[in-house]
Amino acid sequence: MKNQITVIAFDADDTLWVNEPYFRETEEQFASLLEDFLPRHSILAELYKTEMANLPLYGYGIKGFLLSMIETSLRITMGKIDPIIVEKLLDLGKEMLNKPVELLDGVEEVLKALKGKYRLVVATKGDLLDQQRKLTKSGLDHYFHHIEIMSDKQEKDYQKLIKHLDCKPEAFLMLGNSLK
């Protein structure tokens, strides 16, 4: 049976470059800022609860994460948060947005080997500006035929992408670090 794959799509965060550790690092800094109000594990549980509630509103990405940290800090402090802490939270968000893009081992070699043999696509979710910034900073953008930044990855989003790429579903392969 001959290989039918003609399009290979790559997720971006934690598939092409490092991302998740930056969120975990910032969560720890967030918990440290609020440790006078709740134990660390409770602060992180409250942040997670806020993030999940806000996903339909803010989507995925650093900006939504930052807004969730601010909302959580207001709730934890019962609205009595020191403005200096809010300023530190804003600085944490800006630091995340300005992090260098660190490619995962072997990514560029894989893209070089596949370019020309397949149409390569980025199919990722998150904040449009942030994902575009990371792709540009990564230096990988020239490998890709098409960039698709989605607010979420649902079946309808993939159907729309496949239609846009004018390929059959059986000719499309998605690579990423998450089963979803």
* DSSP notation for 97-122: HT----BPTTHHHHHHHHBTTBEEEE
Q: What is the pLDDT along the chain (180 residues), one digit of tens a residue?
A: 357 999 999 999 999 999 999 999 999 999 999 999 999 999 999 999 999 999 999 989 999 999 999 999 999 999 999 999 999 999 999 999 999 999 999 999 999 999 999 999 999 998 999 999 999 999 999 999 999 998 888 889 899 999 999 999 999 999 998 766
pLDDT the model gives residue 178: 75
| C-alpha to C-alpha distance for 126 and 141, rounded to whole angstroms | 17
pLDDT the model gives residue 42: 97
pLDDT the model gives residue 2: 59
Single out the residue of 128, 133, 63 nearest to residue 94, CA to CA: 63
pTM summary value: 0.88
Assign 134 to helix, strand or coil. helix
pLDDT the model gives residue 153: 85
| Per-residue tokens: 37 | 């109000």
| Per-residue tokens: 44 | 């992180």
* Residues 91, 94, 98, 103, CA torsion sign: positive
pLDDT the model gives residue 137: 95
Assign 3 to helix, strand or coil. coil
| C-alpha to C-alpha distance for 144 and 121, rounded to whole angstroms | 5
What values do phi and psi take at 63, rounded to 5? -65, -45
| Per-residue tokens: 74 | 């207001």
Assign 30 to helix, strand or coil. helix
pLDDT the model gives residue 1: 38
Single out the residue of 108, 123, 135 nearest to residue 7, CA to CA: 123
| C-alpha to C-alpha distance for 135 and 75, rounded to whole angstroms | 35
